[in-house]
Amino acid sequence: MGNLYALSGAFLQQWRNVRRTASYANFIIAGIPNVIILAWIANKSDNPVAITYIAVGASLMLVWTNAVFRMGWALSDERWGGLLDVSLVSRTPVIVTMLGKSLALCIFSLLTGAGAFILILIVSEHAIPIVDLPLAIVSLAITLFVMICAGFIFCPITVLVGEPSGLFATVMPFGVACSGFLYPIGILPAALQVIARGLPTSWAMESVIMATTGSGSTWEIVIRWVIALALAVVYLFITQLLFRLVERRVRVTAALTTF
Amino acid sequence: MRNFLRQAYYNYRGLFIWLPWPSYITTVVFGPAFTIIMFALVGRFALGPDVVRPYVLGLVAQYIPFIISASILQCFVLERRFAILSIVYSSRGNREVIFFSRQLFHIPNGFVVVAAGLFFSWLLLDLDFNQVNWIALVLTVLVISLSSCACAAFLGNFFIVFTDWILMYRTFAGVIIVLTGVIIPISSLPAPLAVFSQVLPLTHGLVAFRSTFDGAGVAAILPSLLQELIVGLGYTVLGLVGYHVSEIIAKRRGLVETAA
């Protein structure tokens, strides 16, 4: 119960903070050009599956890039703000506090994703017919959930690798390129396909497309949900281990509020 | 000359925050590679295999102004944030030397990002190099790098208004990728935007860049390179004037040491 209280508190704190943060404009500005280009490609395409991929995937791409960047720096922000020592003194595990913050960041990121979806539909002048709406909604919810799990792992990783500036210049496009947000995983180069299959987002995204276009049976969609969720659990488990490593390291090095 | 080189070196070492190797590799090597792969595969899937080559070449070339503008803009803004600007302004040093020294060591980054982009495009997207005119390609990269430096330095003068270099960089990068013909042909742009694209760095250089992969020699791409150089020259003049004006404004309004 106490952890739940801490989780909701962290969520609210981050939610209020993110609404105020002027730097959020960065992400909107950064996302608009890519969305314009993708909308233009969708407009020129006569492949309905590709248009579906672009409309849904561009939205998820924005959610991913916004959320993973902010989640990735969330723990470092605690440290820079001098709050990590307070978190460590409290009985709430750091991972719970950070999860609350990450959830707030992801939900806020959905707003830009929704905006991108509408923009692409307008520019591409195509409607997206959804074959199985309930399955598509569940698939989308699972995709968002596993996206949080996949992005949350970068929260401790950023601290453990020494918070290098520019780290997410690779993480963000890597996640988009290998998650199959914008095209089927099958057209990736072979080496990247292997990596992509280790990402829960790639399986979840496939289920979204199958449910939307009707290109897969219910059974095939459910299998992808199960694999995506199983991988997400693995990611969460590893994240928990990494958080413990962070706690141990900052206690040993006393690097709580300083570099 | 020694003073110029020393200033250029210390400015680059001290203020280019992506210089440590983990940051450099993620921003200059792997980040561009994944973005190129992403757009090339979207194009192949949605429009067919014919678009992959022009998309890849456009995306590789557009990373020259991307990287150079990011690195130069951060140097301008961080100079003020780290309170170094007051020392610069209190010195009697030649302002033109200072202005150009902020650009010198960023030029090689244009070559590095092109090399990395082309390598990954060859490795993962089977980009064909059979017809490439390498001399013309190197010259084109140099010219695009110069015009990108000039444009970035011009934009750097706005550090007294915009303290967030990332916001400036992302706005500039967005304009470049949408309006210079990287993916959307300039002929498809609305007329005012097509005209505006002519004064952007990369627009003319990109024509030459793509031509070098069809075997075009230096003579064939010279008109495009000259246009690119003229654009760069325009930004240099504007940038120099802007540098003097920004110094006057910063001193008058006491913006020199204000933490960003």
Comparing CB atoms, the residue among A37, A51, A169 nearest residue B184 is: A37
Contact A37 B171 (CB under 8 A): no
The type of residue at A70 is R
Contact B174 A32 (CB under 8 A): yes
User: Which residues on A lie below 8 Å from B178 (Cβ)?
Assistant: 33, 36-37
Picking from A10-19, A47-56, A189-198, which range would have the lowest pLDDT averaged per residue?
A: A10-19
Give Cβ neighbours of residue A131 (< 8 Å, ≥ 6 apart): A211, A212, A213, A214
From B172's Cα to the closest Cα of chain A, the distance in A is 10
Q: B117 and chain A: CB distance < 8 Å anywhere?
A: no
Give dist(CA B82, CA B15) in Å, integer.
9
Contact B45 A183 (CB under 8 A): yes
Angle at A242 between CA B23 and CA A207, to 5 degrees: 85
User: Looking at residue A259, what is its pLDDT?
Assistant: 43
- Residues A102, A152 contacting (CB under 8 angstroms): yes
Comparing CB atoms, the residue among A22, A169, A173 nearest residue B38 is: A173
Give me the residue label for tokens 């990011």.
B70
Closest CA to B56 of B111, B135, B129, B142: B129
User: Looking at residue B213, what is its pLDDT?
Assistant: 95
Contact B174 A176 (CB under 8 A): no
- Residues B63, B202 contacting (CB under 8 angstroms): no
User: Looking at residue A27, what is its pLDDT?
Assistant: 64
User: Tens digits of per-residue pLDDT, A22-43?
Assistant: 556 666 777 788 888 998 998 8
Closest CA to B65 of B228, B258, B218, B223: B228
User: Which residues on A lie below 8 Å from B177 (Cβ)?
Assistant: 33-34, 37
User: Tens digits of per-residue pLDDT, A74-93?
Assistant: 777 777 777 777 777 788 88
User: Tens digits of per-residue pLDDT, B180-235?
Assistant: 999 999 999 999 999 999 999 999 999 999 999 999 999 999 999 999 999 999 99
Give dist(CA B50, CA A54) in Å, integer.
19
- Residues B14, B110 contacting (CB under 8 angstroms): no
Contact B26 A169 (CB under 8 A): yes
| Cβ under 8 Å to B: A residues 186-215 | 187-189, 191-192
3-state DSSP helix/strand/coil % of chain A, to nearest 5: 80, 0, 20
Give dist(CA A113, CA A128) in Å, integer.
16
Comparing CB atoms, the residue among B23, B35, B170 nearest residue A166 is: B23
- Within 10 Å of residue A195's Cβ, how many Cβ atoms? 15
Burial readout A32-61 (b: 16 or more C-beta within 10 A, e: otherwise): bbbbbbbbbbbbebeeebbbbbbbbbbbbb
Residues B10-25 have a mean pLDDT of: 86
Alpha-helix residue ranges (DSSP H) falling in A45-165: 48-80, 84-89, 94-124, 133-152, 154-160
User: Looking at residue B257, what is its pLDDT?
Assistant: 64
- For residue A153, the SS3 value is coil
Q: What residue of B is the nearest CA neighbor of A57? A: B42
Angle at A16 between CA A14 and CA A17, to 5 degrees: 60
Interface A-B, measured as beta-carbon pairs within 8 A, has a size of: 121
Contact B38 A176 (CB under 8 A): yes
User: Looking at residue B260, what is its pLDDT?
Assistant: 44
Number of domains in chain B: 1
Q: Residue B135, exposed/middle/buried by CB under 10 A (0-12, 13-18, 19+)?
A: exposed
User: Looking at residue A220, what is its pLDDT?
Assistant: 93
Does pLDDT of B107 surpass 50? yes
- Residues B49, B170 contacting (CB under 8 angstroms): no
Closest CA to A225 of A255, A246, A205, A250: A205
Comparing CB atoms, the residue among A47, A168, A189 nearest residue B46 is: A47
- Residues A199, A151 contacting (CB under 8 angstroms): no
Range of the domain at B83: 2-257
Does pLDDT of A10 surpass 50? yes
